[in-house]
Amino acid sequence: MDKNRNKVIVGILLIIVLIPLLIGIKTKRSFQYTINQNLDFMDYQIINNTNKQKYYDQLDNIGDIFKDSPIVARVKMTNEREYLSQCVLSSVEVEDVLKGDIDLEREKKIYIYEPITVQVDAVYTSLGYIPMIEGNEYIVFLKQLKVPNGYNMSNKEKKSFMYYNPTYGKSDIDGLQPYISDGSEQISIRDVSKNNVIIKKDNLNEYSKYQSIISQYLH
């Protein structure tokens, strides 16, 4: 009787463990299916959340971004991206470390969580953020990935970073020209590949202040 009861308990425990695992595998597969693998990433449409009228508020504090950011580096975007449910993990080559603890002798490549979501043939972003473009160089302001106490990070996670501030997290080395949008047109990544950010005309003055402050870090 005890043996039969033990078998029943073991069976229940296996069901409890396997069901979430199977659901997770199915969810992962279904998410991967929503990515259009046949479409060039540059041709993905950008869906930009423009709920906030001011992209560049609190500009008085932007001058402290270098001081406050634990890591500041010059990087080049590769063609490696990992599509996650709420963001994209992008691989970049580190060309120079302006501040922080990145050993270029060992860490030629790091990973950055970009605040975008990719679904089917569209990239969902906010605050005018433009995904990093393969081959483009950027100054990035980063912080270490936060994990719970006692969590053992993988080697990849140890080399993964988040922007110190999503709005001011990166700046294109080749220029800070914004793409002026009226909010109604369709925009692909290719359309804004030479721009630093998407903004409305109403925010051009605020962005000009940002340009004057951040340009000192680009040379």
Nearest to 196 by CA among 216, 209, 179: 179
Give the chain's radius of gyration (CA, Å). 21
Sorted by where each begins, the domain ranges of the chain are: 1-33, 38-217
In angstroms, the CA 4 to CA 7 distance is 5
C-alpha span between 108 and 155 (Å, rounded): 14
CA distance 87 to 83: 7
What pLDDT, in 10s, does the model give residues 89-138?
999 999 998 888 777 667 789 999 999 988 888 999 888 899 999 999 99
- The CATH architecture to which 38-217 belongs is Beta Barrel (2.40)
| Contact yes or no for 196/118 (Cβ under 8 A) | no
Which residue ranges in the chain fall short of pLDDT 70?
A: 1-36, 49-63, 104-105, 218-219
Residues 147, 155: Cα–Cα separation, whole Å: 14
E strands, 22-87, in order: 45-49, 71-83
